[in-house]
Structure 1
Amino acid sequence: MNGLIAATYAPMHNDKSLNVDIIPLYGNFLTQNGVKGAFINGSTGDFASLNTEERKALASAWGKVKSQDLFVIDHVGHTSIDVAKELATHSADRVDGIAAIAPFYFRLSRLDKLVEYCKEIAACAPNIPFYYYHIPELSGASFSMVDFLELATPQIPNLGGIKFTNNNIVDYQYAKDFNKGSANILFGYDEIFLSSLPYGANGWVGSTYNHLAPLYLSIRNAFNDGNHELAAALQQKSMEFVDLLNAKGGFSGAAKSFMKVLGVDCGPSRFPHTTLTDLQIEEIHNALIALGITPYLSKLR
């Protein structure tokens, strides 16, 4: 499970109920733009604003469109380990892998408790890879990922690796080098995508891979060609994209709204995220034209 992996949105109708009918189109859109996988029901997908049945419905719908061209990882983490295990069991024969964030209300203070949590969830889907979703900014679980791998690897037979959403490059490198690279460490910080390349990154999970897949593929190509100046300039465009949308009431809601421009209308966002008006979306599009970013936008063909 490598390449660009889009953290997908939860598509909704205007009344904010789920719109799973658009998922086949969504899946085609991703593959057409060079995206290799979909990470569903994650932070970008507003998992904390969905109920259990909605998360199951999304897993079922994405499971029907997964293929050799698009793999699907379902995030099943929850503050309740029982609900997380229920979600994992549901996805066990539907998707290609599962992931779980650490409990984020009653936060864990001991690494062994995190491994215990992951072990129980992973055991509910023993035939597919399990990924620990490391995002300490939101989960509060600020453990060393090398320490996690050392403790978890012998206990979790189907441990695939880590979705590493942190800007600690040192910790990322050590995790990637653990046991001669035995774990798949998926880099999850879009704005510093370029920083992962010297360390041999070959798998990335992020929300802006929905919008700017051609840009990130161009960054990788420029880096591999030794054109580091071009790679840095292209990375700057990614940062400008995030800054621009973030200024419109928050990135998550604005970025979901902007999908409409790309041909995949994901509908409104649930509270507390903001849904942009058509005028605001037009303003963003015009600003992206001025910044020279639109040639790198993903497109529905």
Structure 2
Amino acid sequence: MEDFKLTGVLPATFTPMKANGDVDYDKIDEYCEFLSREGIRQIYVNGSTGEGPSLTAEERMRLTECWVKYGKKNGRLSKIIIQVGGTCLKDSITMAKHAETIGADAISTLPPLYFPVATPQDLVEHVRAVAAAAPTIPMYYYHIPFRSGVNINMEQFLLAGRDVIPTLRGIKFSDKDLVQMCACLRTKDARGRNFNIVFGSDEQMLGAMALGADGAIGSTYNWMSGTFRRLLTRLDQGDLQAARLEQTRSQDVVKQVFAFGEKTNGTVSTLKVVMSLVGLDLGPVRGPMRELETKDKEAFFKALTDLGFMEWRKE
């Protein structure tokens, strides 16, 4: 755990569903193989993209077992991070223990949902309780204030938590406040290391990485990871014009995701349906989100193909 660090591109995985809304666990092996062919070696499970808050603790633990079993098969995945946060602290503790026991590489947690925390100290105590249930693997806090409703200063959280949460390794920073992100990047943990900050807004990846973010976790990396790996390569080479091209391509796609997402009560449905376009149907979403109607799906796919998405999404 001493040298554990997330870098590069990590997809936040979808949860395969059957037509009746049950989780399709049998699909995980095929999904792992798809990601492996896409050049993916690290994943983030049961987050917003994976509909984690809409799943039961039992479903989430079984998904964790499947991802670890099939992800580690033939070394297809090197790092599997499990998001265990939700509305019930006891469930989060149970899921954290389970993730550690079955061989997950790290855990992550949301803040308490519904009953929010108000201060950095309150948040530290919540994360400490979850992290203590899995004391041998790293913990990443999941900062997503536009969904969680908790917008505590992350630099203050890290400073307050570093001495009392021994496994606190960093933040999945899904916010567009890049000034606050930079402050987190300059903050050191109890061992004197910089915290590992992984950015979570795909359409702003270039700005975050140019400012020093260590990596990125997001939905579109499931089916557009090649685009973002090219972006990182061009940035490393100092070719900003080429890096901007990749970012603007991704932004054009995300605009369509959001436009059609207005018809589905959220973007997870539109993000997930792209998987069927690129060759892996992962089924519907769970309510209250809705599926795109056939005519809207056809219009969505046409909008993506007109952008050239199928030609440049891969390396």
- TM bracket, shorter-chain basis: over 0.9
Deviation (angstroms), 1:199: 1.9
Aligned to 2:8: 3
Counterpart code for 2:43? A
Counterpart code for 1:145? M
CA distances 1:195-228 after superposition (whole Å, capped 9, x unpaired): 0122222311000101210111111122222221
**Pair 298,20 (structure 1): closer, same or farther in 2 beyond 3 Å:** farther
Unaligned runs of 5+ in 2: 1-5
Q: Is the 8 A contact 2:231 2:246 kept in 1?
A: yes
Q: Is 2:82 aligned against 1:74?
A: yes
The residue matched to 1:8 in structure 2 has which SS? coil
Counterpart code for 2:148? S
Q: Which range moves more in the overlay, 274-283 or 92-101?
A: 274-283
Aligned to 2:214: 202
Aligned to 1:146: 155
Equivalents in 2 of 1:65, 1:153: separation in Å? 33
Residue 62 of structure 2: which of 46, 50, 57 is its match?
Answer: 57
Deviation (angstroms), 1:55: 0.8
Unaligned runs of 5+ in 1: none
Equivalents in 2 of 1:42, 1:165: separation in Å? 11
Residue 128 of structure 2: which of 119, 130, 136 is its match?
Answer: 119
The residue matched to 1:242 in structure 2 has which SS? helix
Residue 305 of structure 2: which of 289, 296, 299 is its match?
Answer: 289
Residue 45 of structure 1: which of 50, 60, 63 is its match?
Answer: 50
Counterpart code for 1:216? F
Aligned to 1:193: 205
Q: Is 2:30 aligned against 1:25?
A: yes
Equivalents in 1 of 2:154, 2:57: separation in Å? 29
Counterpart code for 1:54? E
Q: Is the 8 A contact 2:158 2:184 kept in 1?
A: yes
Q: Which range moves more in the overlay, 281-290 or 15-24?
A: 281-290
Equivalents in 2 of 1:169, 1:50: separation in Å? 31
Identity of aligned residues (%): 33
Aligned to 2:119: 110
Counterpart code for 1:42? G
Q: Is 2:267 aligned against 1:251?
A: yes
Deviation (angstroms), 1:283: 2.8
The residue matched to 2:187 in structure 1 has which SS? helix
CA distances 1:32-83 after superposition (whole Å, capped 9, x unpaired): 2222311111111111211111111111111112335521111100221111
Deviation (angstroms), 1:278: 4.9
Q: Is the 8 A contact 2:12 2:43 kept in 1?
A: yes
Counterpart code for 1:255? L
Q: Is the 8 A contact 1:41 1:74 kept in 2?
A: yes
Q: Is the 8 A contact 1:213 1:298 kept in 2?
A: yes
Q: Is 2:42 aligned against 1:34?
A: no
Q: Which range moves more in the overlay, 43-52 or 249-258?
A: 249-258
Equivalents in 1 of 2:126, 2:235: separation in Å? 39
Residue 159 of structure 1: which of 161, 168, 180 is its match?
Answer: 168
Residue 262 of structure 1: which of 262, 278, 297 is its match?
Answer: 278
Counterpart code for 1:175? C
The root-mean-square deviation of aligned C-alpha atoms, in Å, is 1.7
Q: Is the 8 A contact 1:146 1:175 kept in 2?
A: yes
Q: Is the 8 A contact 2:200 2:217 kept in 1?
A: yes
**Pair 108,177 (structure 1): closer, same or farther in 2 beyond 3 Å:** same
Deviation (angstroms), 1:140: 1.9
Q: Is the 8 A contact 1:92 1:125 kept in 2?
A: yes
Equivalents in 1 of 2:209, 2:28: separation in Å? 31
Aligned to 1:173: 182
CA distances 1:111-156 after superposition (whole Å, capped 9, x unpaired): 1111011001001111111111111111122122111111111111
Residue 248 of structure 2: which of 236, 248, 260 is its match?
Answer: 236
Deviation (angstroms), 1:298: 4.8
Aligned to 1:15: 20
The residue matched to 2:116 in structure 1 has which SS? coil
The residue matched to 1:105 in structure 2 has which SS? coil
TM-score, length-scaled by structure 2 = 0.90
